[in-house]
Structure 1
Amino acid sequence: MEPAKEEITDKMEKLKVEEEEEKKELPEEKKGEEEVQIGEGIQDWRRNQESAFLSSSTSWDDEKLAIPEKIKQALRDAEVLRPSKIQAYAIPLVTEDPERSIVAQSQNGSGKTFAFSLCSLLRIDENDSNLQVLVLAHTRELVNQIWEQIQILNKYTKYNITQVKKEEKKPTIGQITVMTAGKCKTLMKLKKINFSSIKMIVIDEADHFFGSEEDRAVTTRLIQEIDEKCPKVQKLFFSATYEEHVRDAIRGIIPESSISIKVKSKKLTLKGVKQLYFVAKEVRKFNVVEDLYNEFDNTQMIVFVNTKKFGEMAHAHMTGKGYKSSIITGNVDPEERDRIMAQFRNRELQFIFATNVLSRGIDISDMKLMINLDVPFIKDADGFENADYENYLHRIGRTGRFDTKGVALTIIDGSERRFDKEMDVLKQIQEHYESNIEELKNIEDLPEIYNEHCNND
């Protein structure tokens, strides 16, 4: 039996009331306060009221940023007129003397890539052609996107910026080089990478590198090997989320003098993203996606699923209806994934169904609508379903990037077997991020909600 609409609304309204009550209890001077913490050492995430960098710079001309004119011109050409918060906080801390390692946390779409790209360019000695900054990412797609972002800023400085692809036998190593950790490990083993001039290592999506026990071991050993060759190398870690075990792992490989920058969890959900949920029985979820496509005048969609099997079912349904669809899961090889993403960007595909492999590092500038065909959850050792906070955040971060607006819709299974479990997971997510996930009662209402949210200042 499908739950009554009143029951669904009551559950979410109760949360909304509780949130409003909590806000009323805050002292007046705390309301609207910037929730950014800068601490000495990764163990100390405290709020430092005396920091010179807590007020976001409003111009690239700010003397604390010390941006050279050639890079400022590239920023103007790219229409990046002022630094985002993470850029304003991170750049002075990275470039100050003495150099210290940084662990930075900021939401998706907040400008993290430009932040460490700028930091990388500012560390280059143009008279030294050797590798000076190594940037590590966990997928080929992300490697390419980072390389493209750095090249935008490198328009007038013209440093040698390279990316190393998996299949390259004789890669070119530039002054700044972007690659996966696996490729870096291979090149080190073959003695094809020279660290004699290395100044900085950047690890993007750091939580991914330390997520599993195996990933932690591989990443830790890689950094330790580089440290053995260059003990003074500066390390920058950037991510939208850091679980406690990830912080523990990073804590073991950085100096005590390192600095942390953190945004509190309730500030991590993108302020420009309107979060909604819609209740439909699982057998109707594919029809809901089809309805959304038609309601939105044939807009492209990335639709996230929890499992490869469900993604394949959704893909088969849409192709069977004549839509141009594709699927990206963990077992799709990198070359095929690149091909699918190129097709999507060229508007040759209407849908991509994807597991969490696509929830990170994919930047499609005009993506305004994101669909969760499943509410993201993780099963514990006893089989209980708990909210997957991290991947929920990364998924909805595919829209509303760089201070734009977007809509994220999670489709809840309304069957008697699944409804209570999935609503509980959604409640966990809402409480964790202190966000408001509203119910969408009718699919046909979404275009109006979307236009009101995205097109009004």
Structure 2
Amino acid sequence: MTTFKDIGISKPYIKALKELNIINPTEIQAAVIPILLEAETDLIGLAQTGTGKTAAFGLPLLHSIDKNKNEVQALIIAPTRELVQQIQKQLFKFTKYIDGKIFAEGVYGGEKMDVQMRALNRTTHIVVATPGRLLDLVERGAVDISNVKTLVLDEADEMLSMGFKEDLNKILKYNTSNRKTWLFSATMPQDIKSMIKNYMDPNAARVEVNKNALVNENISHHYVQTNIKDKVNMIIRILDKRKDDRGVIFCRTKAGAKTLAQQLQHEGFAVDVLQGDMQQKERDKVMRAFKNESLQVLVSTDVSARGIDVNNLAFVLHHQLPEYLDYYTHRSGRTARAGKTGQSIALIIPGEMQKIIDIQSELGITFKEMTV
């Protein structure tokens, strides 16, 4: 079994990892860390969420920071505020036992600009940011990224599907000559390929984690045949059977998500909704309740679910199948994280069987029919 020591991580970091119960490197960590520690290289990592990417890029990044230089040396860009906060928190925990201090600052929308500007005035070595807010701060002269040695793009495909293409292109145009770029993505749409071509070294290292498994192999996939008017009853029966399990139910529209959440609350389930019209404060409140387990189930739209990273989710339920295949990967990837198993259950109505067949062949997975 490979250890963190084998792949070059120094003792203080290993001690902090042990405390976080991270004992052996995951597949992506074992593949990526030695490359990034040993060589000044661009890197393209193909990996699902929940595979341990934060430590895979975070540990080599921390090793590369010069603590004596009071300048922003690294930039990590991620799609959602939740993910930014999570990455920043992990970096902080990784550095618990090192000599000296490495300062990482998180910036994202939905917070007061002046508060973030003041925070960036203090010593900052690493900025973790969502694309829009970072660009705002750069254009206002509140953060100087001209000395950035490493730029990490985490969940690049999610950022593009959320409409951040222009922002990312502007950020990538800064200081290209003396910078390494590490890009992580679960899928490789055309836009990402052109980004790689335009802004990265053609000899960039490439790492693919379990190449054939576009979808995490610890997830079992099921479909339930029903019709439109029976859907809500079907969901109630499924939840009744899973009284102790937590999960996420996906709806295609904001209105659909709201209505379903109300119907389930009415039936006495501990359920709340995440959707695009919510204020950030409400969203945070719902996420807190879900994380501390006072909520059992979240109903969410695809975009609102970005950045949900909660361990021990037993299932994902698709009220409708998503429009895009990538979304199926992102949705089902919310369960079975950190080595656990999980179920992905799709409700299908007459005429939708073909969709199941398409998803199977495209993603290389097998659905089993489930009767409730």
TM-score, length-scaled by structure 1: 0.75
Kindly indicate whether residue 158 of structure 2 is the aligned counterpart of residue 208 of structure 1.
Answer: yes
* Aligned equivalent of 1:223: 172
Matched, 1:432 2:358: no
Distance 1:264 1:85, change over 3 A: closer
Q: Deviations over 1:265-306 (max 9, x none)?
A: 631211111111111112222222222222112433311111
Aligned mates of 1:182, 1:111 — CA distance in 2: 25
Would you say 1:184 and 2:134 are equivalent positions?
Answer: yes
Whether 1:168 and 2:168 are equivalent positions in the alignment is no
Is 1:74 aligned to 2:24, yes or no?
no
Tell me which residue corresponds to 1:135: 76
CA contact 1:164–1:171 (8 Å) conserved in 2? no
Distance of 1:310 and 1:278 partners within structure 2: 19
The 3 A distance-change label for structure 1 pair 171 and 88 is: farther
Match of 2:328 among 373, 392, 411: 392
Partner Cα separation in structure 2 for residue 171 and residue 293 of structure 1: 46
Q: Which residue of 2 aligns with 1:342?
A: 288
Deviation per CA, 1:137-173: give whole Å up to 9, x if none: 1211111111122222122124212212432312423
Structure 2: gaps (5+ residues) = none
Q: Give aligned-pair identity as a percent.
A: 26
Q: CA deviation at 1:192?
A: 1.0
Deviation of residue 264 (structure 1)?
6.3
- Residue deviations 1:27-61, cap 9 Å, x none? xxxxxxxxxxxxxxxxxxxxxxxxxxxxxx71112
Q: Which residue of 1 aligns with 2:60?
A: 119
1:325 maps to amino acid: V
Matching residue's letter, 2:134: C
* SS of alignment partner, residue 267 of structure 1: coil
Q: Does 1:147 align with 2:88?
A: yes
Shift of 1:322: 3.4
SS in 2 for 1:260: strand
What is the SS of the residue equivalent to 2:113? coil
Equivalent runs, 1:17-166 vs 2, <5 Å: 58-62=2-6, 65-97=7-39, 99-157=40-98, 158-166=101-109
Indicate how the Cα distance of structure 1 residues 183 and 425 shifts in structure 2: closer, same or farther if over 3 A, else same.
Answer: same
**What CA distance in whole angstroms lies between the structure 2 residues aligned with 1:359 and 1:262?**
25
CA gap of 1:265–1:314, structure 2 versus 1, over 3 A, is: farther
CA 1:310/1:176 → structure 2, altered by over 3 Å: closer, same or farther? Answer: same
Select 1:352's aligned residue among 287, 298, 312.
298
| 8 Å CA contact retained: 1:74, 1:152 | yes
1:153 corresponds to which letter in structure 2? F
The separation in 2 between residues aligned to 1:177 and 1:143, in whole angstroms, is 10
Matched AA of 1:163: G
The alignment partner of 1:309 has SS state of helix
SS at match of 1:410: strand
The residue that corresponds to 2:201 in the other structure is 255
Say which SS state the counterpart of residue 212 (structure 2) adopts.
Answer: helix
Where does residue 401 of structure 1 map in the other structure?
A: 337
Q: Which residue of 1 aligns with 2:222?
A: 276
Pairs aligned (count): 363
Measure, in 2, the Cα distance between the counterparts of 1:207 and 1:226.
23
Per-residue deviation, residues 307-351 of structure 1 (Å, max 9, x unmatched): 222212211211222334322122323332112101111223233
- Tell me what 2:231 maps to: 285
Paired amino acid for 2:4: W
Aligned to 1:38: none
Q: Contact 2:81–2:307 at 8 Å: present in 1 too? A: no
Match of 2:144 in 1: 194
Check the 8 A contact 2:246/2:312 in 1, yes or no: no
Runs of 4+ in 1 over 6 A off after TM superposition: none
Bigger CA radius of gyration: 1
Contact 1:302 1:371 in 2 (8 A): yes
Q: State the shift of 1:258 in Å.
A: 1.6
| 3-state SS of 1:131 partner | coil
- Normalization by structure 2: what TM-score? 0.92
- Structure 1 distance, partners of 2:243, 2:336, is 20
1: distance between equivalents of 2:279 and 2:188?
Answer: 28
Write the distance in 2 (CA, Å) between the matches of 1:297 and 1:131.
Answer: 48
The Cα shift of 1:391 comes to: 1.0
* Aligned equivalents of 1:360, 1:243: Cα separation in 2: 18
Deviation at 1:119, TM superposition (A): 2.2
Cross-structure match for 1:373: 319
Question: Which runs of 5 or more residues in structure 1 are unaligned?
Answer: 1-56, 378-387, 414-418, 444-457
More off after superposition, 156-165 vs 138-147? 156-165
Root-mean-square deviation (CA, aligned residues, Å) is 1.9
Contact 2:132 2:164 in 1 (8 A): no
